[in-house]
Amino acid sequence: MSEILIGTQNGVLRLGNDGNLQPEGGPPTVAFLTCAHEGVVALTQQGALWHRTGGNGWELVHERPVAEDIWAFAADPRAPGRLYLGVSPALLYWSDDGGTSWTACEAIRRIPGYERWTFPPPPHIPHVRSVVPDPQVLGAVYIGVEEGGIYRSGDRGETWESLNEGLYWDVHTVTPAPDGQRLYATTGRGFYRSDDGGQHWRHLMSGLERRYTVPLVATPQRPGRLYTAAAAGPPPSWRQEGANAALYRSDDGGEHWIRLEQGLPPQFDAMVRQIAVDDAGAVFIAAGQELFASHDDGDSWQRLTGGLPPVQALVAV
């Protein structure tokens, strides 16, 4: 089993190969964790950027890379120093030096229809919620905008291609398949798949009883295997009734989904926001203050711990 880093409101915890949970130094809070070329990088809830130096050591890279609210954080592990930030109002920043300096991709503001992008809660300001490198083309990147759709740039953000025919524009994640032309998206209306690089999308909901899909992982070990979690409704309803969320797996690229239940709660009141799969195929999920693991492709689950500080990020290292 790989080590699992758990980013919480009180810093980073490490789940070791022996199953023991240990605190790490470094970031006092965590909003995002990602694996970069140089190792794991963290963003705190205050917007500071930290780099894991190996073992459990961390160093502060930048106290505040950007002034805006950060909604997405990603790295391209193939490219030394390449990091991305998605912010509100909707814009993308990138760094080529591991986060020391950042460049705004102003061309996003020139995408046709940008002025119509929105977000349900007042003051209705959209944000880049998902950023992911194109696994087929070094330097190319996808963004998912809540609410505004999916776009791709292959020229360092100079131009952007709209990939939205048949797609609901309230995008939560965009996920390229590890190989081939497929793209996957989770949205406020459920799961979508494109078989032609985003030119056309299909709405696939067979087995998904809940529509508000959020996290999505496409496993490199088995093409077509996906994990997602979905709530019964959007976040405003969670405050009164809980998320009423469930976990799902597909083995055929999202054509059909099965609900994963053995060892899990009948429903999750706290949303399952994080899913991580390690190199051996073990699956880890976090919901609120709880952490669960499966070593049989999600058929059965073990609750590893509860009572954690609220978990914001998971990454296998």
Residue-wise pLDDT for 36-88, tens only, equals 998 999 999 999 999 998 777 899 999 999 999 999 999 999 999 999 999 99
Amino acid at 73: F
What is the chain's percent helix, strand, coil content, to nearest 5?
5, 45, 50
Say how far apart CA 136 and CA 104 lie, in whole Å: 24
Say how far apart CA 143 and CA 312 lie, in whole Å: 20
Q: Is 281 within a domain?
A: no
Q: Is 152 within a domain?
A: yes
Verdict on whether the full-model pTM lies above 0.85 = yes
The DSSP letter of residue 14 is E
Question: What is the maximum alpha-carbon separation in the chain?
Answer: 52
**Lateral strand order in the sheet of 258-260:** 212-218, 226-231, 246-250, 258-260
Q: What is the mean pLDDT of residues 203-231?
A: 96
* pLDDT of res. 36: 95
* Beta-strand pair 4-8/11-15: antiparallel
Q: Is 90 within a domain?
A: yes
For residue 180, give its domain range. Answer: 68-198
For residue 171, is pLDDT > 70?
yes
- Overall number of domains in the chain: 1
pLDDT level of residue 252 (50, 70, 90 thresholds): very high
pLDDT level of residue 267 (50, 70, 90 thresholds): very high
Say how far apart CA 181 and CA 309 lie, in whole Å: 39
Q: Is 226 within a domain?
A: no
Amino acid at 226: L
Q: Is 118 within a domain?
A: yes
Q: Is 73 within a domain?
A: yes
Q: What is the mean pLDDT of residues 3-19?
A: 93
pLDDT level of residue 1 (50, 70, 90 thresholds): low
* pLDDT of res. 142: 98
Q: Is 63 within a domain?
A: no
For residue 192, is pLDDT > 80?
yes
What does the CA dihedral 31, 309, 287, 306 come to, rounded to 10 degrees?
A: 150
The mean of the pLDDT values for the chain is: 95
Q: Which two tokens stand for residue 3?
A: 């080590």
CATH code of residue 187: 2.130.10.10
Q: Is 88 within a domain?
A: yes
Measuring CA to CA, which residue among 93, 109, 103 is closest to residue 43?
A: 93
